[in-house]
Amino acid sequence: MTTTARPLTLEDVRIALAGTCLLTVSARVEPGEVLTVMGPSGSGKSTLLAYVSGFLDPAFSASGRVLSGDIDITALAPEERHAGILFQDPLLFPHMSVEQNLLFAIPASVRGRAARRNMARAALARTGLEDFGPRHPDTLSGGQKARVALARVLLSAPRMLLLDEPFSKLDASLRGQMRDLVFATARASGLPVILVIHDAADAEAAGGAVIRVGTDA
């Protein structure tokens, strides 16, 4: 979790599908701040995250640059961008235990089995899931899975957090909890956040700037 706080800059990002422009964004997200992109489903708001993380479908064309600090990450391979992403499903790797899921995320620069395991355990302890390391993801509740997914992405020392409607599948009580946890963590770790949603409630909780995409948003 030794992320050096760097702002995220979207420089004239323009994404089009078959000549039709879906969205244009120019924004600067400071460490710990949240940029919210809001729009109805099908408006192409998730393509922004795909573009930043390096997984834009070739059917779309995109121009512009994404900078982390002064590093142009659009020039990097997806795995070198360190764009930590959370989807609406926790997507824990089902063939790994909780601890193995976390170990997978720890950068290779952390050497030694013991050191890596200690890091994973500490992350679990911070999440309040001390004894869950050997458990299989299937045996966890929805809220527990979401917390492990958050711990996993933080362990990978990301440059930013990309949130793709991450709370929309949680039930009402968990939703507020998880939302507060994610934003508090991002603030504490100094991570710039891009949040993609179609629900205004999440946008209010996030604070920060809001960009609307699509016509009937």
Partner 1 sequence: MSFARLGPPLAIGLLAGPVLAGLAGTLFPAFGWLPALGGDRVSLDPFRELLAQPGLFRSSLVSLLSGLAATLVALLGVALFMAAHAGSRFFGRVQHLLSPLLSVPHAAAAFGLAFLVAPSGWLVRLVSPELTGWTAPPDALVVHDPFGLAMTAGLVVKEIPFLLLVALAAMPQVRLAETRRLAASMGHGRVAGFLFFAWPPVYRQIRLAVLAVLAFSTSVVDVAVILGPVTPPPLAVRLVGWMNDPDLEMRFFASAGALLQLGITALACLIWLALERLGHVVLTRLRDRGRRFAQDRGLRAISGVLPGLSAGAVFLGLLLLALWSVAGLWQFPDALPRSFSLRSWERALPRLDGPLWTTLATGILAAALATVLAILCLRREDETRAPPGRLLWLVYLPLIVPQAAFLFGLQMLLIGVHAEPSLPALVFAHLVFVMPYVFLSLSDPWRAFDRRYETIAAGLGASRLKSFWRVRMPMMARAVLAAAAVGFAVSVGQYLPTLLIGAGRLTTITTEAVALASGGNRRVIGVYAFLQMMLPAAGFAIASLVPALLWRRRSA
Q: Residues interacting with partner 1, by CB under 8 A?
A: 50, 53-55, 57-59, 77-85, 87, 89, 91, 93-97, 100, 104-105, 107-108, 136, 152-153, 156-158, 162
Q: DSSP secondary-structure letter at 176?
A: H
**CB nearer to partner 1: pick between 108 and 172:** 108
Name the one residue in this structure whose structure tokens are 């963590």.
185
Give the nearest distance from C-beta 94 to partner 1 in angstroms: 7
Give the nearest distance from C-beta 204 to partner 1 in angstroms: 27
Element (DSSP H or E) covering residue 179 = helix 172-189
**CB nearer to partner 1: pick between 107 and 207:** 107
**CB nearer to partner 1: pick between 55 and 201:** 55
H helices of 24-163, in order, are 45-53, 78-81, 98-105, 113-127, 142-155
Cα 44 to Cα 23: distance, rounded to the nearest angstrom? 7
**CB nearer to partner 1: pick between 39 and 158:** 158
Give the nearest distance from C-beta 84 to partner 1 in angstroms: 5
Q: Are 55 and 85 in contact (CB under 8 A)?
A: no
**CB nearer to partner 1: pick between 23 and 85:** 85
Give the nearest distance from C-beta 149 to partner 1 in angstroms: 8
The burial of 114, by beta-carbon neighbours within 10 Å (0-12 exposed, 13-18 middle, 19 or more buried), is given as exposed
Give the nearest distance from C-beta 136 to partner 1 in angstroms: 5
Q: Are 194 and 35 in contact (CB under 8 A)?
A: yes
Give the nearest distance from C-beta 50 to partner 1 in angstroms: 8
**CB nearer to partner 1: pick between 13 and 105:** 105
**Sheet bearing 60-68, strands edge to edge:** 20-29, 8-17, 60-68, 71-72
Cα 155 to Cα 162: distance, rounded to the nearest angstrom? 15
